[in-house]
């Protein structure tokens, strides 16, 4: 099926040609037509499936057909969970809209940076806003924009939006939107919270579920290595030297772990930087730019990097700590093996994280052979007691059941004082 069969305008087909896209991806092939008709969508599509274009192309065609307004009136609002995804989505929309007869104004807004430049860019209005929920509400509170004219709402990574605790902010935003509008929900998974939201907001939606085809699944070699928690950094260094990896994305459970592992690697003269939600936006942008340009060898990241990052030719992802949610495993490893490239995904499993790894295997339908690396064979046996603090159980990733209660913490503090 060619793009020309989707009913898209010549200007959009020209932009698609500039991208050298030969044919629509499965999600684009089934989502564009009903979205062009103004139907609500509830679409399931994995990371890297081309879903941004699946909602961007209909939005742009609606903009092209709309009557020009002065000042510009916001027509489409796209909500995303992370700063990096907002930039990625906004830039793709700008590229696809570059040949439209009327100039398109896309505003990308997110927190972690000064609000003043974003307010200045919104003077005179905007046609499309791509936003994280918190910063959008800040701008509304500053009277920098209004949502009264929004004709289409897109929730991109809807499951992640709710997982990151944006439910209250989403409710505030929804209350400010016109009742009559088109709603496009895209999500990799449909947990109960997303299903409930969809039932409330969507009107006779077209339900789309695009499963990855076997021949199009990323070529990712998944491996699991048993290692004592204290040996993980040394093992990581050994594997990097042995395999001559050009770049490595390492996932950890906490901001503290990201800083600590990065510091250890730098002391070993390995160019490494942490990446987490408490860094300034300028620092996060710089780290990603250096990583993509191969000026940086290793990035140690929390799950803020598990979705929305497209790093070309990234050879390997390492789960230094296992993800807290079994669902996040697939998103983490999906940072490698993109665009037809091969990739490797390694997971370190210690005695303390063994049970959680078994849960991930069960939820993801995996059965991987456990490996051991000579010189790093694990010595630890048995799982940590459930009352131990997850922050002190290496590799736990903050697993439920390993966190101490408030009483446990008070007892531990009293015991420490008495020693």
Residue 187 lies in a domain: yes
Whether residue 256 is found in the same domain as residue 138: no
Whether residue 95 is found in the same domain as residue 16: yes
- Start-to-end C-alpha separation, the chain: 73
Residue in this structure with the two tokens 């979205």, named with its chain if needed: 35
Residue 364 lies in a domain: yes
Cα-based angle 375, 381, 382 (whole degrees, multiple of 5): 155
Whether residue 139 is found in the same domain as residue 122: yes
Mean pLDDT of the chain: 86
> Domain containing 193 — which CATH number?
3.40.50.300
Whether residue 261 is found in the same domain as residue 312: yes
> For 178-187, how does the pLDDT look when each residue is reduced to its tens digit (9 = 90+)?
999 999 999 8
- Domain finish residue from 160, 183, 209: 209
Q: How far is residue 52's CA from residue 50's CA, in Å, rounded to a whole number?
A: 6
Residue 10 lies in a domain: yes
Residue 170 lies in a domain: yes
Residue in this structure with the two tokens 């101490």, named with its chain if needed: 404
Residue 415 lies in a domain: no
Whether residue 318 is found in the same domain as residue 252: yes
- Domain finish residue from 158, 182, 209: 209
Going by pLDDT thresholds of 50, 70 and 90, the confidence category of residue 397 is very low
Whether residue 324 is found in the same domain as residue 394: yes
CA-nearest of 159, 155, 156, 192 to 173 is 155
Residue 414 lies in a domain: no
Q: State what percent of residues in the chain have pLDDT above 70.
A: 86
- Domain finish residue from 175, 209, 243: 209
Position 382 pLDDT exceeds 60: no
Whether residue 194 is found in the same domain as residue 307: no
Range of the domain at 225: 218-407
> For 78-130, how does the pLDDT look when each residue is reduced to its tens digit (9 = 90+)?
999 988 889 889 999 999 999 999 999 999 999 888 999 999 999 989 999 99
Position 395 pLDDT exceeds 50: no
Residue 117 lies in a domain: yes
Whether residue 326 is found in the same domain as residue 261: yes
pLDDT value for 106: 96
pTM over 0.75: no
Among left, alpha and beta (phi > 0; psi -120 to 50; other), residue 402 is alpha
The token pair at 258 is 């990201």
Average pLDDT over residues 200-218: 77
Q: Count up the domains in the chain and report the number.
A: 2
Whether residue 64 is found in the same domain as residue 27: yes
Average pLDDT over residues 208-232: 81
Position 140 pLDDT exceeds 90: yes
Whether residue 303 is found in the same domain as residue 379: yes
- Please spell the DSSP secondary structure of 251-264, one letter per residue: E-SSHHHHHHHHHH
Q: How far is residue 402's CA from residue 385's CA, in Å, rounded to a whole number?
A: 8
Whether residue 205 is found in the same domain as residue 222: no
Whether residue 372 is found in the same domain as residue 393: yes
Residue 418 lies in a domain: no
């Amino acid at each position: 099926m060619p793009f020309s069969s989707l009913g898209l305008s010549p200007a959009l087909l020209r932009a698609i040609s500039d991208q050298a896209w030969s044919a629509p991806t499965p999600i684009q092939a089934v989502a564009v037509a009903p979205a062009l008709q103004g139907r609500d969508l509830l679409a399931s599509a994995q990371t890297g499936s081309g879903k941004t274009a699946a909602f961007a192309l209909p939005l742009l065609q609606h903009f092209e057909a709309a009557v020009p307004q002065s000042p510009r009136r916001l027509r489409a609002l796209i909500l995303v969970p992370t700063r990096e995804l907002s930039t990625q989505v906004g830039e793709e929309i700008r590229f696809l809209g570059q040949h439209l007869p009327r100039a398109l104004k896309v505003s990308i807004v997110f927190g972690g940076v000064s609000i003043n430049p974003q307010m200045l860019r919104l003077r005179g209005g905007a046609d499309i806003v791509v936003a994280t929920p918190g910063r959008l509400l800040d701008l509304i509170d500053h009277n920098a924009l209004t949502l009264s004219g929004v004709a289409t709402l897109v929730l991109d990574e809807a499951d992640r939006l709710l997982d990151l605790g944006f439910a209250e902010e989403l409710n505030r935003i929804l209350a400010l939107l016109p009742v009559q509008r088109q709603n496009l929900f895209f999500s990799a998974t449909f947990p109960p919270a997303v299903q409930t939201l969809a039932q409330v907001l969507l009107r006779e939606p077209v339900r789309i579920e695009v499963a990855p085809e076997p021949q199009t699944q990323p070529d990712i070699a998944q491996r699991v290595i048993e290692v004592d928690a204290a040996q993980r950094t040394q093992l990581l260094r050994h594997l990097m030297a042995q395999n001559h990896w050009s770049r490595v994305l390492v996932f950890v459970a906490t901001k503290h772990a990201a800083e600590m592992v990065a510091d250890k690697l730098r002391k070993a003269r390995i160019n490494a930087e942490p990446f987490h939600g408490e860094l300034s936006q300028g620092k996060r942008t710089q780290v990603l730019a250096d990583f993509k340009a191969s000026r940086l060898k290793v990035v140690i990241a929390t799950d803020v990097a598990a979705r929305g990052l497209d790093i070309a030719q990234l050879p390997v992802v390492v789960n230094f700590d296992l993800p807290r949610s079994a669902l996040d495993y697939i998103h983490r490893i999906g940072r490698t093996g993109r665009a037809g490239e091969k990739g490797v995904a390694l997971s370190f499993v210690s005695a303390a994280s063994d049970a959680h790894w078994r849960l991930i295997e069960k939820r993801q339908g995996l059965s991987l052979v456990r490996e051991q690396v000579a010189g790093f064979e694990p010595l630890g046996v048995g799982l940590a007691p459930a009352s131990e603090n997850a922050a002190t159980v290496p590799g736990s990733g903050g697993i439920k059941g390993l966190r101490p209660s408030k009483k446990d913490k008070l007892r531990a503090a009293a015991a420490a004082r008495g020693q």
